[in-house]
Amino acid sequence: MSTTKTLHVEGLDNSTDDPSGRAPLILKHDYKSVTDAVCGVVENPKIHPAWALGFLVALGGLGMLFALIVHLIATGVGVWGNNVPVAWGWPIVNFVFWVGIGHAGTLISAVLFLFRQNWRTSINRFAEAMTIFAVVCAGTFPGIHVGRIWLAYWLFPVPNQMLMWPQFRSPLLWDVFAVGTYASVSLVFWYMGMIPDLATLRDRARHPLRRLAYGVLSMGWRGSSRHWHRYERAYILLAALATPLVLSVHTVVSFDFAVSQVPGWHTTIFPPYFVAGAIFSGFAMVVTLAVPARAFYGMKEIITVRHLENMNKVILATGSMVGYAYAMEFFIAWYGGNRYEQFAFVNRAMGPYWWAYWTMVSCNVLSPQIFWFKKARTSIPIMMVVAIFVNIGMWFERFVITVTSLSRDYLPSSWAYFRPTPVDIGMLIGSFGLFFTLFFLFLRFLPMIAISEVKLVMPEPEPGTTAKRETTPLETAPASSN
């Protein structure tokens, strides 16, 4: 806004709280240098050893995941620690964990877009990619949890020789539709946002194969204003559609638990509580990934301290919402006077899984409280530690919900203690391998920052101040033919 004073910022710290103006979101860059910085990562012909090492480690994890899945299918779900009464063990915990992480991307893209939070532009591409990879990891677990995996298509309403149809009154089927819609709409949203940047890469490409690949991916985008007009309308609509979608996905996941009558699962705050928790874990994951990536790829002027601070504020807010929900559950269990409900919660905090419960509370509710201090919000080491704590805590939250309630339900004679098997643990680690394999590939081959959107929030150059017009390098460029 031209009426707002843009504050002057020294160095790389733009986290000022001065209310008399707005701090710049992108530092020391003009249009061209942003393009160069982001495209340079993809165009660099050298493979950095650190990237290669990380990629190989992730690939190893992925290989382990595949091997374990083959083992699982060949042997049966008995290789997991799932038992009766804990029939929903780690696979569901992992599923909810990954789906939760997959929420920040669409939240940053869509919700922050609707709220005109300009700082989203530096991190949205990143977060959307993370969303899709997390949803891929999430989708793996219910897929392999069905037992006879080759019949997984029964989840979908496909006409078949048995004349049978799925049972639409079950929340598990709602999940199929919610997660399926979420994955595909997120993919469309991500891809559509990337088209202009892919066109930039195409036009900069020197090698014909590269130009061909990015040319096909960018679908002939030319930056025409008539196209931009429709593109922007569609982008707003997608944001407006993705916002209720992101709410609905984790809501439906929470229905999986909350429509039942299991004490500790059936409580009405589950939908908003799950959504808040999902955003919480998603933002923590974005911080976990963005901090090393911005340092490694020299993006500190684009993903600035201000961006990180804002994310930490969101982590504090959503972490406290999650704390509110924990408190409400406890209070209402007491207030309602229902002895089963009361037992479930006492058992959570003091039963055999007390260690999981208190890990969860200290990671999710207590650790983000340090973000009340600005020093902590803007300190890279502290935010890394807290973000990793939150990731751990949110995994434990799903563990606590799933396992404590099931292991001690209405029938004391069938109470049992759940223990993961090495296969359970291997699969959790393997899912991280899958996630990071995709993520490393993304960093290498696609623009990790939404170039065209970042330019939108940069101050407009005054006429005559742009870099000297040079024509020489362009003369050497061959005419694009694709």
Partner 1 sequence: MAHSHTVTELTEADTRLPAKFAAWGSKGLVVGLILLALGVLPAALGKDGWKHFQFAYLTGYFFWLSIALGGLIYLCIQHIMRAGWGIVVRRMAENIVGTLPWMAILFLPILIPTLMGDTGIYKWADTAAMVAADIEALPGKVPVYQNFLNPTFWAVRAVVYFAVWIFLARFFVKQSQLQDQDGDPKRTRRMEMISAPAIFLFALTLTFAGFDWLMSLDPHWFSTIWGVYLFAGALLSFLSYLTLMTMGLQKSGAAEALITKEHYQDLGKLMFGFVFFWGYIAFSQYILIWYANIPEETIFYLYRQKGAWTGFTIVLLFGHLLIPFAGLLSKHVKRHKPTLAFWAVWLLVMHFVDMYWIVMPTLAKKLGNSYEIPFSFQHLAVWLGIGGIFFAFVVRNAGAKSIVPLRDPRLPESLAFENF
Partner 2 sequence: MAENRIQDEGQDPSWVTNLKRHDEESPQKVYAVVAEYDTPGELLEASRRVRDAGYSKWDTLTPFPVHGIDEAMGIKPTILPWIVLCMGLAGGTLGLGLQYFTNTVFYPYLISGKPMFSLPANIPVTYELTILFAAFTAFFSVLGLSMLPEFFHPLFRLKRMERYTNDRFAVVIQGNDPIFERERASALLKETGGNDIETIFAPEKTAPIPAPVVGVSVIIGAILLLPPAFVARARFSKSEKPRIHIIQDMDMQQKFKAQFPSELLQELYGDPRASLQPVPGTLARQDFVEDDVWLDGKLPSGDYSAAFPEGFVIDEGMLERGQQRYAISCMPCHGLAGDGQGLVANRALFLADAIASGRANTGMAWAPPANLADARIQVQPIGEIFHTISYGLNNMMGYATQVNREDRWAIAAYVRVLQKSQGATLADVPAEVRAEVEQELVEARAAAEIVAAAAAAEQAARDAAEAEAAAAEQAAPETESND
In the complex, the residues that contact partner 1 under the rule CB under 8 A are: 1-4, 17-21, 114-115, 171, 244, 247, 251, 255, 258-261, 266-272, 320, 324-325, 328-329, 332, 334-339, 342, 372, 460
Binding-site partner at residue 260 among partner 1, partner 2, none, CB < 5 to 8 Å by type? partner 1
Cβ atoms of residues 144 and 91 within 8 Å: yes
Backbone phi, psi, residue 341, to 5°: -65, -45
Both tokens of 98, joined, read: 């990954």
Q: How far is the CB of 393 from partner 1 (least distance, A)?
A: 19
143 or 351: CB nearest partner 2: 143
Tell me if 78 contacts partner 2 by CB under 8 A. no
Cβ atoms of residues 59 and 433 within 8 Å: yes
Tell me if 1 contacts partner 2 by CB under 8 A. no
Q: How far is CA 101 from CA 104, 143, 282, in A?
A: 6, 18, 4
Torsional sign, CA 450, 177, 270, 359: negative
Amino acid identity for residue 462 in this structure: E
Tell me if 205 contacts partner 2 by CB under 8 A. yes
Which of 178, 360, 370, 383: binder of partner 2 (CB under 8 A)? 178
Tell me if 116 contacts partner 2 by CB under 8 A. no
17 or 475: CB nearest partner 1: 17
Binding-site partner at residue 419 among partner 1, partner 2, none, CB < 5 to 8 Å by type? none
**Segment interacting with partner 2, rule: CB under 8 A, options 86-94, 336-344, 417-425, 461-469:** 461-469
Binding-site partner at residue 19 among partner 1, partner 2, none, CB < 5 to 8 Å by type? partner 1
**Segment interacting with partner 2, rule: CB under 8 A, options 63-71, 159-167, 384-392, 439-447:** 159-167
Binding-site partner at residue 4 among partner 2, partner 1, none, CB < 5 to 8 Å by type? partner 1
Tell me if 128 contacts partner 2 by CB under 8 A. no
On the 0-12 / 13-18 / 19+ scale of CB atoms within 10 A, 365 is middle
Q: What is d(CA 440, CA 27) in angstroms, rounded to the nearest whole number?
A: 26
165 or 335: CB nearest partner 1: 335
DSSP classification of residue 329: H
Cβ atoms of residues 283 and 104 within 8 Å: yes
Residue whose C-alpha is closest to residue 248's, from 197, 330, 180? 180
Q: How far is the CB of 19 from partner 1 (least distance, A)?
A: 4
Tell me if 416 contacts partner 2 by CB under 8 A. no
Burial 108-141 (b: 16+ CB within 10 A, else e): bbbbbbeeeebbbbbbbbbbbbbbbbbbbbbbbb
Which residues lie across from 6 on neighbouring strands? 22
Cβ atoms of residues 407 and 344 within 8 Å: no
Q: What is d(CA 114, CA 121) in angstroms, rounded to the nearest whole number?
A: 12
Binding-site partner at residue 478 among partner 2, partner 1, none, CB < 5 to 8 Å by type? partner 2
Applying the rule CB under 8 A, the residues between 24 and 63 that interact with partner 2 are: 30-32, 35-37, 39-40, 43-46
101 or 258: CB nearest partner 1: 258
E strands present in 280-377: none
Binding-site partner at residue 252 among partner 2, partner 1, none, CB < 5 to 8 Å by type? partner 2
42 or 238: CB nearest partner 1: 238
Binding-site partner at residue 53 among partner 1, partner 2, none, CB < 5 to 8 Å by type? none
Q: How far is the CB of 17 from partner 1 (least distance, A)?
A: 6
Q: What is d(CA 303, CA 280) in angstroms, rounded to the nearest whole number?
A: 19
Q: What is d(CA 404, CA 387) in angstroms, rounded to the nearest whole number?
A: 25
C-alpha gyration radius of the chain: 24
Which of 22, 71, 227, 313: binder of partner 2 (CB under 8 A)? 227
Q: What is d(CA 287, CA 459) in angstroms, rounded to the nearest whole number?
A: 26
Cβ atoms of residues 265 and 171 within 8 Å: no
Tell me if 76 contacts partner 2 by CB under 8 A. yes
Q: How far is the CB of 161 from partner 1 (least distance, A)?
A: 32
Tell me if 276 contacts partner 2 by CB under 8 A. no
Cβ atoms of residues 323 and 365 within 8 Å: yes
Cβ atoms of residues 54 and 440 within 8 Å: yes
302 or 386: CB nearest partner 2: 302
372 or 417: CB nearest partner 1: 372
DSSP three-state, residue 22: strand
Binding-site partner at residue 18 among partner 2, partner 1, none, CB < 5 to 8 Å by type? partner 1
Binding-site partner at residue 10 among partner 2, partner 1, none, CB < 5 to 8 Å by type? none
